[in-house]
Amino acid sequence: MDLATFAVQCLNALQYGLLLFLIASGLTLIFGVMGVINLAHGSFYMVGAYMAFTLSSLTGNLFVAIVVGIVLSVLLGIVLEWALISHLYHRDHLEQVLLTYGLILVFEELRSLIVGNDVHGVAVPAILSGSIPLTETLSYPVYRLFMSAVCLALAGLLYLLIHRTRVGMMIRAGASNREMVSALGLNINLVYRLVFALGVALAAFAGMIAAPVSSVYPGMGTQVLIICFVVVVIGGIGSITGALVASLLVGVVDTFGKVFFAEYSGIGVYLLMAVVLVWRPEGLMKRAY
């Protein structure tokens, strides 16, 4: 492998890892703060991808579709938390799993009825449709670099939100001791609603920006859910920093595994998870709040 090809694979690993972080950060945030095992999290990624396809078809502009899709995904998260998830906080994890698995079935059926079962594509915006030449024969798409930059920016904003704002202080307090925070007069139910809406929006946004490069197809949420649980376990449940480190590690292992060990690439990330759990059963990072 020459230097240019290696650089392309490194960029691919970075882009894939950062996209995984967007999805996994919402998943680990919901479980770490609210204590809810959300199997439907991958469905929010799928919903975001299908919103990008539908709204960009209607508006003719992916950026407008993303803005509208973010608003709709936040509203979806608020409604779901109010109607369903809020009843699970003091329930057994089995009941959480059953309800959120039921949501997977509901979203898949709605997707089939509204959009159908065909595979769809989303056009890359013209302003980002070019490529940056690396050698005479190799180039790298500008849109993938744009995805990586957006994901990095959101990772920074999420860190600032959790660790440098009053809202983040309330989230950390609610994760630490729900009863004490409620006794002090904080509306913990509102905090949980905002956290769930944020998690849904992050997953949906990841689906929207990934749609032009991965296409939009049935079952895409289930595939990404499995790998995101791997990321959460490796990084440490409830740790945003751990999710970022684990996502980048998974991106590197998966990308270079497909290059060097194509026949066995499917087990690479699971071997990584096994090694990490043997070394650190609690994951790479302890909860940061």
Amino acid present at 135? T
In this prediction, residue 189 carries a pLDDT of: 86
Residue 43, burial from CB neighbour count under 10 angstroms (0-12, 13-18, 19+): buried
Q: 116-158 pLDDT, tens per residue?
A: 999 999 999 999 988 988 777 788 899 999 999 999 999 999 9
Residue 288, pLDDT > 90, answer: no
pLDDT score at 287: 58
Residue 85 has pLDDT above 80, yes or no: yes
199-234 b/e with 16+ CB inside 10 Å = b? bbbbbbbbbbbbbbbbebebebbeebbebbbbbbbb
The two tokens of residue 246 are 């684990």
> Residue 116 and residue 68: Cα distance in Å, rounded?
22
Residue 247 scores a pLDDT above 60: yes
Q: Measured between alpha carbons, how far is 260 from 262 in angstroms, rounded to an integer?
A: 6
Which residue do the tokens 């894939």 mark? 16
Q: What is the mean pLDDT of the chain?
A: 89
pLDDT on residue 33: 81
Question: Which of 207-211, 213-217, 254-258 tops mean pLDDT?
Answer: 207-211
Q: How far apart are CA 21 and CA 231, in angstroms?
A: 8
CB 141 within 8 A of CB 131: yes
